[in-house]
Each structure stands twice: as structure tokens, then as C-alpha cells.
């Protein structure tokens, strides 16, 4: 098993939901967790009293902010071992009621933020000849759902980006993987599927456990992607 103690881990979208659960789980492993989100207040609340958590206010769609955040972390820590690209938004509804601006914004955050942070950390990981990038896709990254055209397109993009980057850098010591959860009990899930019983959904902590599994599993057998489905759903989505 790989030890995560003192590993420098960046988690985007860390102020709530899945990102918050991942950050707290990595902190329990002894990692140095660099929290990235837009909400200064939420980040400050999460980091309060947690010496291994450091907050960085950053919009993942702004290249200069992403580059400055990664540079600050490298200046302070000297390395980046793990990047979890989790920041995401969703717009849901029929295509006819989805504006192009909404479509573009969802792609910009979900796929563009993943692109920008991966690009920013990659030089350091290549220099280290080691690093892990985990991108949060979704069941909608491989399966179509009605009234989720923008969100589905963005998560397909994340999965395609992950596959291409993994092939590009695997011989340089950098592992690029993805997680595709089904419905997770977050505010976004409530917005996208108000018809679902929230008690039946995957817990954010379950996704955090999947992240730790990917990071700590023996490196001789690499898991490229994890599909996580709700227990009550049919297998093999």
C-alpha cells in the first residue's frame, strides 16, 4: 500500500460536497491538502483548526488564477503529488431551454478547469517523475440522460481528456485516472434529479474512499477508471 502521509494534494471544488469529503479523507491519511474553491468563507470554515489544510481562493476557469495558485503551492511545498479535479457545475433542463451561454459555462468549468489545473501541475510532476491526477467524471460521461445535455457533454469531455492525457504521460511517471459516480447526495444531484430519494444516493464519503483506494493501491496494477453506481441500480452502467 502506498502511504499518503505528507503527500501534497490539491483538491478543486473543495468547499462542499464531494470535494469537501475528499479533502477531509486525505487529511485523515496525513496528506497536506491544498483546498481550491471560489468561496473564501467556506474554505476558511473548512480549514479552521486543521493545520494540514490550506485554503486557496481560485476560479478554475481563469488561467492566471490557476497558474498563480499552483505556483504558490509549489513555492510553499516544493512539490505536488496529487491533483483531484473535482470542481464542477451543472445546468439541467430540456435542450430548448438551455442557453448557449449556460452550455459553454458548464463545459468551461467542468472540462476547462480540469484542463487548466492538469496543465499547471504537469511540469512539476514530470520533473518529479511521479504524480497522480484524478478527474471526476460521472455516469453521464458514458451514458446519456435526458435534460442533461450540457452536463453530459462536459463529463464526456472530462473522460476523453483523461484517456488522452493518461496515454500522453504514463511513461513519465504520472498516472491519470477518472472516477465516474452515479447519483451522489449533493445539492447538484437534488437539482438534477429531484425525483430521486436522497437516502438512496451514494454518499460523498463513498467517493472519497474511492479516491484513497486509487491513490494507495499497489502501483503494479493500475486502475484507470472507477465506475461507482448506486447500490439499488442495475449493474454495468
Residues 6+ apart with CB under 8 A from 208: 18, 21, 22, 24, 25, 26
Rounded CA gap, 162 and 94, in Å?
Answer: 28
- What CA dihedral angle connects 7, 83, 226 and 103, to 10 degrees? 160
Compute the CA torsion angle 13, 16, 19, 24 (nearest 10 deg).
130
For residue 202, give the DSSP letter: B
Q: Which three cell numbers mark 14?
A: 473543495
| 8 A C-beta contact, residue 86 and residue 60 | no
Polymer length of the chain: 237
- How is residue 72 written as a grid cell? 504558490
Please confirm, yes or no, whether 151 is among the known catalytic residues. Answer: yes
Task: Please name the residue that has the C-alpha cell 462536459.
Answer: 154
Active-site hit among 100, 145, 151, 213: 151
Give the separation between CA 33 and CA 41, rounded to whole angstroms. 17
Q: Would you please indicate which residues are annotated as catalytic (active-site) residues?
A: 151
Amino acid at each position: 500500500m502506498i502511504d499518503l502521509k505528507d503527500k501534497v494534494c490539491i483538491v478543486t471544488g473543495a468547499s462542499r460536497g464531494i470535494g469537501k469529503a475528499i479533502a477531509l479523507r486525505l487529511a485523515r491519511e496525513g496528506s497536506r491538502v491544498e483546498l481550491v474553491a471560489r468561496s473564501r468563507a467556506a474554505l476558511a470554515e473548512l480549514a479552521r483548526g486543521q493545520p494540514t489544510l490550506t485554503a486557496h481562493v481560485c476560479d478554475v476557469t481563469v488561467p492566471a488564477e490557476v497558474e498563480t495558485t499552483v505556483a504558490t503551492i509549489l513555492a510553499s511545498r516544493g512539490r505536488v503529488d496529487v491533483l483531484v479535479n473535482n470542481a464542477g457545475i451543472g445546468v439541467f433542463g430540456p435542450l430548448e431551454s438551455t442557453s448557449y451561454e449556460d452550455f459553454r459555462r458548464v463545459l468551461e468549468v467542468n472540462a476547462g478547469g480540469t484542463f487548466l489545473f492538469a496543465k499547471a501541475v504537469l511540469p512539476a510532476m514530470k520533473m518529479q517523475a511521479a504524480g497522480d491526477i484524478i478527474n471526476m467524471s460521472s455516469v453521464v460521461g458514458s451514458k446519456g440522460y435526458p435534460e442533461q445535455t450540457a452536463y453530459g457533454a462536459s463529463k464526456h469531455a472530462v473522460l476523453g481528456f483523461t484517456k488522452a492525457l493518461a496515454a500522453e504521460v504514463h511513461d513519465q511517471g504520472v498516472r491519470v485516472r477518472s472516477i465516474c459516480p452515479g447519483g451522489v447526495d449533493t445539492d447538484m444531484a437534488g437539482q438534477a434529479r429531484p425525483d430521486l430519494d436522497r437516502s438512496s444516493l451514494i454518499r460523498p464519503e463513498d467517493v472519497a474512499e474511492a479516491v484513497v483506494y486509487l491513490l494507495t493501491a499497489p502501483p503494479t496494477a493500475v486502475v484507470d477508471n472507477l465506475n461507482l453506481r448506486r447500490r439499488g441500480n442495475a449493474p454495468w452502467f
